[in-house]
Structure 1
Amino acid sequence: MKRNVLSSKFNTERVRVDDETFLGNYSGPAVILNSEGKPTASNKEGKDLRNFVEKVNPSEISKLVLQATSKNIILSDHCLCKIGGVNLLLELTAIPEQSPTRRILLLGRESELYQKKQSSVSSKYERYKDLAEMSPDFLWEVDSEGRFVFISPKGGLGYKRSELIGRHAKELVIDPEKFNPFPFLSPYPLDDLDILLRDKNGTVCCVVMSSMPVPEVGIDVVKETGCRGICRNVTKMRENEAALLRVQHREELLTSIVSQIRNEVEPVDILNTAATATANGLGANGSRVYRLIGGQKFVTAAEYGELSNPENILNRLKKSKLKGGATTYKTGAREFLIALTHYRQEINGAIVIWKTDVMTSWNNDHKILIGDIAHQLGLVNEQMTTHERIKKLSRTDSLTGLLNRRAFFEQDIPRRIARLVRNGESAAMFFIDMDNLKKINDEFGHQFGDKAILLVRDILLQHSRPTDLVARLGGDEFVVWFDGIDLETSKKRVEQLIKASRSLKNSTGKEISPLSLSVGVACFDPTSDETIEELICRADEAMYVAKKAGKGDYFISERKKRGK
Structure 2
Amino acid sequence: MAPQAKERPNISGLGGSKSSAFRVSASGDVLDQSTTADALVTLWNADEGALHEVVHEALTSGLPTDARIEDGAGATYWIVAVPQGEECVVVTRDTTLPDKVTEALLRSRTMLKELLDASVDVAFELDPEGVFRFVSPHTAFGAQTEAWLGHSATQIFWPNGDAPVRNPFAARTKSQFDNVPVVFSGTEKRWLHFNVHPIVGPGGDLLGLRGTCRDMTKRFMAARKTKQDGLRFMLLQRITGLLNTIESADDLLDSASSTLQEVLRADMVWAAVHYEQGLVPSSIVGTYREIVDLEGIWTRLKKADASVIEVAGAGRQHLALMMRRGERDLGMMVVSRDTEVSPWSDQEIELLSGVVDVLTAAFGKAELIETLYRLSSNDELTGLMNRRALTDTIERRLKHQSRTGLSGCFVFIDLDFFKEVNDTLGHKAGDDALKMVAAKMQAMIRPCDYAGRYGGDEFVVWLEDMQADVAAEKIRALLDEMPNIREEIGAADLRLCASVGICQSLPGKDLSFAELADIADSTLYEVKQAGKGDIAITKRDEDASEGAVKEDAEYVG
Q: TM exceeds 0.5?
A: no
Return the TM-score normalized by structure 1.
0.44
Select the structure of larger CA radius of gyration.
Answer: 1
Q: Which has the higher contact order (CA 8 A, sep 6+)?
A: 2
Return the TM-score normalized by structure 2.
0.45
